[in-house]
Amino acid sequence: MRIVTCVKQVPDERNMETDPKTGSLLRDTAGSIPNPDDAYALAMARATCETLKGEAPTLDAITLARNRHVPHFVRLFLSDLTMPIS
């Protein structure tokens, strides 16, 4: 079985600043964190994979982000699984 989940990063709400003139978010100062909903999706995908170990499942995490931290987050989150991760 192949399980696919999407992941992305979102602005860190704890450090958000806005441009006083435009009201736009200043992304450079906000920093990024993994989307909490995507982290939940990864957790569910992981649980499903652990349930299906005998069927040799694979898990794909897809992102459109240019930021290299998303794939790194996915690998850390899933590092102890003994199945292929792409």
- Report the number of distinct structural domains present in the chain: 1
Query: In Å, how far are 9, 20, 24, 43 from 2, measured between CA atoms?
Result: 23, 47, 40, 15
Q: What is the pLDDT of residues 13-70, one digit of tens each?
A: 787 888 889 988 887 777 777 788 988 888 888 888 888 877 777 877 777 766 555 6
Evaluate whether residue 43 is within a structural domain: yes
Whether 12 is in a domain gets the answer yes
Residue 40 lies in a domain: yes
In a domain, 55, yes or no: yes
Domain extent at residue 70:
2-77
Residue 36 makes CB contacts below 8 A (sequence gap 6+) with none
* Residue 84, domain member (yes or no): no
pLDDT (tens digit per residue) in 4-14: 888 887 887 78
In a domain, 82, yes or no: no
**pLDDT at 79 exceeding the cut of 80:** no
Q: Is residue 31 part of a domain?
A: yes
- pLDDT, position 69: 58
**pLDDT given for residue 68 in this prediction:** 59
Q: How far apart are CA 73 and CA 32, in angstroms?
A: 12
